[in-house]
Amino acid sequence: MIRQKPCLQRMNRGFTLVEIMIALTLLSMLLLLLFGSLHTASRSWQSGTRKTEQNDELRVIAGFIRRQIAQSIPLEWANREEVRMVFQGEHNELTFTSTLPAYRGGGGLYIMTLKVVDSGSSKQLDLSYRRADPAISPFAADAPVNQTSVLLADNIDAIEFAYYGRAGPEDTPKWVDEWPHEGMLPRLVRLKIHSSDPGQNWPVLDIAIQSMSITEHPQVILQDQHDSPVT
């Protein structure tokens, strides 16, 4: 009878149950670490993608606001009782005259108001606009039925406007919180948007008005045809 050597006997006997359990445990730990790393990388990728998309959206909205305000037109509305420029610059609200891009309808002049409105569940940055109509006062307290409102952004706490210009031809230009000068437009409008969403990092917009209103002469007069303008 041939006897196997002890070393050959150990090689032929295979793995014990304890050894198999230890190997499976180590394999499970390695797979857990691997899939955990992949999950973390996936979440980081998704978070970065959402952040990029959100920043792109903010840039598009900020660019739209910049273009609309930069294209402000010094429009005067006149009737029997008053002649006023359609530009009301307040600390938290701005009404101005501009044109609409083609995809919004375009054509003609529109009176626009940029402000924050409370929808109940959150505050929103709202741009309302209506076509400039000589028969409707731009300064009426009630909104006309033909006014369109567009939601630009959600989760907005507040907005702050500042205006740079001169009160008169001989005055030194300076920044003010409100623009009371009805004879001309400011040279610059600064807009700060404060959001309740920490992921929304709005840039500060310093907007140069491109019209020739700095010469203090209105370019357009919107006259109520039912009355004669004040002279």
Each residue's pLDDT tens digit, 61-75: 999 999 999 999 888
Hey, which of 132-141, 151-160, 167-176 has the most confident mean pLDDT?
151-160
CA-CA distance, 159 to 144, in Å (whole number)? 24
Rounded average pLDDT over 92-111: 83
The two beta strands, 205-208 and 188-195, are: antiparallel
* pLDDT at residue 6, rounded to an integer: 56
CA pair distance 75, 222, nearest whole angstrom? 7
Question: CB atoms < 10 A from the CB of 34, how many?
Answer: 10
- Tens-place pLDDT, residues 70-101: 999 888 877 777 777 888 899 999 999 998 87
Q: Name the burial class of residue 176, with classes exposed (0-12), middle (13-18) and buried (19+) by CB atoms within 10 angstroms of its CB.
A: middle
CA distance 73 to 86: 9
Per-residue pLDDT at 219: 58
For residue 179, give the DSSP letter.
Answer: B
Mean pLDDT of 152-174: 87
Asked if residues 180 and 143 have their Cβ atoms less than 8 Å apart, the reply is no
pTM strictly above 0.85? no
